[in-house]
Structure 1
Amino acid sequence: MKVFFPPPNRRFGTVDVLGLVGLTGLLIGRYVPVAKLIPFWGCVLRESTGWPCLGCGLTRVADRVAHFNFVGAWEANPMGTVGALLFALAAVVMVLHMAFKMPVPEIELSPREWTWLRVAFPILLFVNYAYVVVKTKFPHLLT
């Protein structure tokens, strides 16, 4: 892995876009009760079959992370919690980058590191989904 630091700038880049998306999502999670305002909000798969989808719990994660309830967010969806926290980090980096010209590091992965990432991500996704299924359908197994 190689990390490069560009000269100080205010160029809007990928991290800034992710930070803006994260900031918007967390502000909505904090101040707008989406699940209560939108009558059809919910998981169609879970409502019709009883089984959760891969994204089940993400609304609760956004709400709980925005309210600093990290334990509750982790219980709803662990990988979603990590994603929400990374979005929050990107929002902080975006503010520092745009306000103070802080250089945003550019990371370059080797082909071997990309291969490990491509192998690890689906495994983590499977483990996360297994946790969500067990938490939803068989909660007695987690006590």
Structure 2
Amino acid sequence: MPGFPSTLLDVKVHLPKPNRTFGASDVLGLLGLVGLLVARYIPVAKLIPFWGCAFRETTGWPCLGCGLTRVADRVAHFQFALAWQANPLGTVAAFFFALMVVVTVLHLVFAMPVPELQLSPREWHWVRIVGVIVVLLNYTWVVVVTKFPHLLA
């Protein structure tokens, strides 16, 4: 087609030599490990008396992050369907952090190289647009589940 780019993705992938250099992916892996272990073994919502969503308590409407504590707890206890119902995007993020735990172990223990991605400005533009759309769709889901559950029946 004339005028249509031959490729939609110009992502550059760099695969470094095997190493054990601590990097950003390892930070995400350690954060994921700590977060999922805390969600699994420490009942944070029950221990902290002021735990809750101030926005939801004030307005009656959920905030963008409502359901994330439940997601972490449910993913850590392998209740994936309930986690998805609480906050789908949070569930995807929890799975991403769990994946990063595995990548971190493979990288630091076995010196597995972690691919480095470089996006063009055009690709970053589309990542931002799609990101905003996904966040808005997720928030719509959270609002419907909490305020209008009869619409899902």
5 Å-filtered alignment, 1:102-117, equals 102-117=112-127
The aligned counterpart of 2:43 is 33
The aligned counterpart of 1:138 is 148
The aligned counterpart of 2:78 is 68
Aligned counterparts of 1:3 and 1:68: Cα–Cα separation in 2: 33
Deviation at 1:47, TM superposition (A): 1.3
Who wins on radius of gyration, i.e. which is larger? 2
Deviation at 1:115, TM superposition (A): 1.1
What SS does structure 1 have at the residue aligned with 2:63? coil
What TM-score, normalized by structure 2, do the two folds share? Answer: 0.91
Aligned counterparts of 2:32 and 2:86: Cα–Cα separation in 1: 18
What TM-score, normalized by structure 1, do the two folds share? Answer: 0.98
CA RMSD of aligned residues (A): 0.7
What SS does structure 1 have at the residue aligned with 2:51? coil
Q: Which one has a larger percent helix, Structure 1 or Structure 2?
A: 1
Gaps of 5+ in 1: none
What SS does structure 1 have at the residue aligned with 2:117? strand
Gaps of 5+ in 2: 1-10
The aligned counterpart of 2:135 is 125
What SS does structure 2 have at the residue aligned with 1:107? strand
Percent identity between the two aligned chains = 69
Query: Number of paired residues?
Result: 143
The aligned counterpart of 1:18 is 28
Deviation at 1:105, TM superposition (A): 0.6
